[in-house]
Amino acid sequence: MITGLSHVSIVVPDLAAAAEKLEKIYGLVVDEAKVNDEQGVRLAYVNLPNARIELMEPARSDSPVARFLERNPKGGIHHFCLTVDSVDSTAEVLAERGARVLGEGKRQRNVHGERIAFVHPADFLGALVELEEHHG
């Protein structure tokens, strides 16, 4: 079911400025930005040995990330992501145990084409959790 930690996602108002700050202060290198049209975000990753830090900025004004920035203008942690062996079977087990998996069974994919789903924050100690199907 749950196999590891993939990433922690931080919403930022300016992806380039955030990348510059992480490199200048922490020596972290941020990969090239990509766009996930389905989610309405531009994102880039810091690759660490055991997980990634995902930086996201809105790609359009109606995205959930844009709404997050309206409430948190300086940005902040948006979610963390757990890797799972199967999004479908994990979502089914979690639902049977009382957790709400968002999206009504709609098949979502991340920028890398991997299957994803989200668990409602109220069902994971107040934190939004992304489930990411990862093989290998």
Considering the entire predicted model, what is its pTM?
A: 0.91
Quick check: 68 and 85 in contact, CB under 8 A? no
pLDDT for residue 48: 96
Residue with tokens 């930086």: 55
pLDDT tens for 79-130 read: 999 999 999 999 999 999 999 999 766 778 888 888 999 999 999 999 999 9
Which amino acid appears at position 62 of this protein?
D
List of E strands, 18-91:
34-36, 41-47, 52-58, 76-84
How many Cβ atoms are within 10 Å of 89's Cβ, its own excluded?
Answer: 12
- Out of 57, 130, 132, 133, the active site residue is 130
Quick check: 53 and 10 in contact, CB under 8 A? yes
Annotation says 104 is catalytic = no
* pLDDT mean over 65-86: 96
> For position 60, which CATH number holds?
3.10.180.10
Domain, as residue range, for 114: 2-133
